[in-house]
Amino acid sequence: MWRTLVTTLTTLAGVAFALPAAADRPPHAAPAQPPLIPAHEGGWGAESSPLMRPGQAVRYWTPGKQAKANAADLPASLPSPAAAQRRSVPTTKRLTPGGDTNGYARVRRPYTDTDRSRITGRLFFVNAGGRGDSCSASVVRSAAELLIITAAHCVYSIPAGATSGRWHSSFAFVPAYDGRAAGERQREPYGRWGGRRAWKPDGYTGTTGGDWNSIYDVALIEVGNKNRTLQDAVGAFTPVRSQGGRHTIATAGYPGVLGRKPYDGKDQLWCLAKTQPARSIAAAPSKLETNNCHLSKGHSGGPWVLEGTNDLIGVLSAGAEDGEADGFSVANTLTTDSYGAIVTKADPRGVYDALSVNLVGRARPVRPGRTATVTATVAMRGLMAAAQVPVTLTAPAGAGFSAIRGATCERGDRKATCVIGTVRPGRPVRISARVRVARDAKAWLPISAHVTSTPLDPTQRDNTSVFSLATRR
């Protein structure tokens, strides 16, 4: 059985703790509200939560409440003999150095030492049913420098007995959270950041088992400001617009299963994996899947980062339940329809997917029958990177392409269709093409280059560039 997984906060006895009455009740507690059905905001198809008070959430999630954050086991999805073995990822599929039977290893302490462990944190909240839950989340680059990214099922759900969805509340993000530290400063080295507002794609409804198969299971939360921004305090991952594919990724977060140290939400764990397009979930072309890492409760919303970079390629969404013989994890990629829908609302001042191309060549005329080189420089401006970027080179009659370097290309005589693996902000990619000039070529040969962007691109006029190659008669 496949699930989206959220860690439910329980007492040490395994019973969900009751919310405190009166002043200690969390702000916007769900039981005190009617169902919140957000209005469609139009445009990109995003919905936002009611405004919240970050300071109240910060005060609510005291170290004492965090200490009770032990996760309850999931309902068994297989007969107990198989589940009892707790064997999820076969040895031959474990890539993480020192990885356990689930493919995970502890992140080396202190978590403040590396970008990945510092940017990743634990997200506490009160769910739509009024109980305390937690997920994983990470800081993502934005103009406001106050956004974290997680799974949509971590911000919105349909409580038991209800027919419509409600927003979660009292969000508190703790970057580099260390639940085993002796003091509060070590446990929360960068403090507690309360949520102000959450966004999800309107395509995420919370139905059909929590939309475990939804490509829209991604969300953003804006946190409150302090004397500096969250991004300034810990850094941020660069979001990568992608439709999936094969990558080597590292994922980190806070899996939590009651009584299973280090799977009790107090340790940051990580897993190394190779991805492939999701096969376990039907009709999900923009999902990534790996069988190198098993999914455990509380890791939902955790980042999938291209190994060796700070590039965020996906957000952990679903997977096999604990104890199943062949564990796997599934992440949603950051598509225009999902991430694009919410980031334009959450960060309206941000510039995303601003691709451009500039084609240049030799100034001196080329003799007919000879060749010349033109170079297309593809650049990304703003806060987002893009994977699998299509670039098309076109030559007129009297010219053709004899060789192309710098990208994976299918070359015809007068047209080349290329794909660049990743274009990152501030790191342009160059494609060089050798142009063959025919003996009967005209005096001027317009060579064109076009890079394909998305509606997120605010300036699509620079997506095409033309260079006129002069010939000598």
Q: What is the pLDDT of residues 24-46, one digit of tens each?
A: 445 544 333 333 333 333 345 99
Residue, of 339 and 212, whose pLDDT is higher: 339
Indicate the DSSP class of residue 75.
Answer: P
Indicate the DSSP class of residue 16.
Answer: B
Beta strands in 406-440 (DSSP E): 408-411, 415-423, 429-437
d(CA 141, CA 148): 9
Other C-beta atoms lying within 10 Å of the C-beta of residue 464: 15
Over residues 199-211, the mean pLDDT reads 79
Q: What is the 3-state secondary structure (H, E, C) of 82-132?
A: HHHCCCCCCHHHCCCCCCCCCCCEECCCCHHHCHHHHHEEEEEEECCCCCE
CB 172 within 8 A of CB 63: no
Over residues 138-166, the mean pLDDT reads 93
Burial class (CB in 10 A: 0-12, 13-18, 19+), 241: buried
Distance of CA 398 to the CA centre of its chain: 46
CB 151 within 8 A of CB 301: yes
Over residues 432-445, the mean pLDDT reads 96
Domains of the chain: 2-346 (2.40.10.120), 354-470 (2.60.40.1510)
Q: Give the strand pairing for 238-241 and 311-320.
A: parallel
Q: What is the pLDDT of residue 321?
A: 57
> Which residues lie below 8 Å from residue 259, measured CB to CB, with a gap of 6+?
70
Q: What is the pLDDT of residue 132?
A: 86
* pTM (two decimals): 0.87
d(CA 148, CA 224): 11
d(CA 134, CA 71): 9
Local confidence band at 48 (pLDDT 50, 70, 90 cut-offs): very high
β-pair partners for 408: 419
Looking at the chain, how many residues does it have? 473
Which has the closest alpha carbon to 253: 107, 141, 153, 124? 107
Distances (CA, A) of 409 to 390, 391, 430: 10, 9, 13
Mean per-residue pLDDT of the chain: 85
d(CA 184, CA 244): 39
pLDDT at 324 over 80: no
